[in-house]
Structure 1
């Protein structure tokens, strides 16, 4: 390598080092006139999705016999539920199906226990409760309410619009409060969730259902409050 080439290479390295040093210095400089803030939008809406689970338990000395009893109880319930099923209005699915040994004081297996579950879910509350009232091989174990996907999406859009407007208003107020004419958005994040009361039916009260044929249990949905939070930082200018 000639002397001229060595000098040129050294100049390039020096320039690169200088640019890197300036970039590090710039990145190390503290942010100025930046405000962190958040705003929340909320919408209260009626819960429109009912989830009703039904279950039964069996106990016996033979595992195959217990499993067969559970299967027969679940098959009978499924047959009735499928006749009333309607997409979105009442969807039917099986839940937990378990079989496990029971142990005696000597640590040896002395029997078997098992459980089976059926879940009815949808927007047609009378259809769901009416079907549950006709099923005699399972008992109601739990009732829960929530928002359907369509309801949640619609409400979240409204709550998000509220949160964004409140964020913009708060950013403007903060900027003016510090003597600035306005702001620019640096970064932002959006988070959504809903809060609601989910009633539960008393299981003991529903065990007597087998004595009341075709008795639909009373249910009443509550409300959910959908919250959307917009948070981030703005550059006041």
Structure 2
């Protein structure tokens, strides 16, 4: 038969009480808590024009084919470098064999190389695009929101989202008859900044234009961006 001394029993009781305190604190943390969401929206002008051009050649000699494609590409790069505020990037370049009707013998090679141009100066890029379409073809054109404009619009939206969340928090507090509230947590999320997509209808339109009138019409438009504020508040009761 085992016996326990009184001090040992009191110590065990004290330890048990202390161990239960974190659980009680966790329960109290969730007392009168409410989850809320607020969303704000804004139309942001697309200030970046993006054009993709390409050259495509065919030849039975792979070396001559590569040289012809490089010549056209280098000429276009040289022209583009003469225009201010144009960001120039070389896109994909690929070649593949051409087979005869039976599909067993290689009769030639085809190669394609792309050139990507970006600028906030729509007029300058439109003019350059028209000039380059003399030797190259239009792969696509689209408009996007630049990094600088995106950051500034997100800063403005964040302030609006905080104010919208506070308004909802106060509304919920008043509905519950509380004397105030405190924010437990708050998270932000933005969307509405789509990646540029090269529009096929613009590609078709550009391909149908004559050499004397190849400057594309420019209509950038806007994108609706939004920011959500998700969080929780604890209502302080009377």
Name the TM-score, length of structure 1 as normaliser: 0.82
In structure 2, C-alpha distance between the alignment counterparts of 1:49 and 1:123, rounded to whole Å = 5
Out of 91, 97, 100, the position equivalent to 2:96 is 100
Aligned to 2:231: 232
Aligned to 2:215: 216
Q: How much has 1:22 moved relative to structure 2?
A: 3.6
The answer (yes or no) to whether the contact 1:102–1:110 under 8 Å persists in 2 is yes
- Partner SS state of residue 82, structure 2: helix
1:6-21 alignment to 2 at 5 Å? Answer: 19-21=18-20
Q: How much has 1:101 moved relative to structure 2?
A: 3.0
In structure 1, C-alpha distance between the alignment counterparts of 2:96 and 2:11, rounded to whole Å = 75
- Partner SS state of residue 152, structure 2: helix
Aligned to 1:203: 203
Aligned to 1:184: 182
Q: How much has 1:29 moved relative to structure 2?
A: 6.9
Alignment: residue pair count: 226
Aligned to 2:151: 153
Aligned to 1:5: none
Aligned to 2:165: 167
The answer (yes or no) to whether the contact 2:184–2:231 under 8 Å persists in 1 is yes
Q: How much has 1:63 moved relative to structure 2?
A: 2.5
Name the TM-score, length of structure 2 as normaliser: 0.82
TM-align CA RMSD: 3.0
1:94-143 alpha-carbon deviations (Å, 9 max, x no partner)? 11111233455445544322211111111100100101111122112111
Q: Which moved more, 1:200-209 or 1:90-99?
A: 200-209
Aligned to 2:128: 131
The answer (yes or no) to whether the contact 1:74–1:137 under 8 Å persists in 2 is no
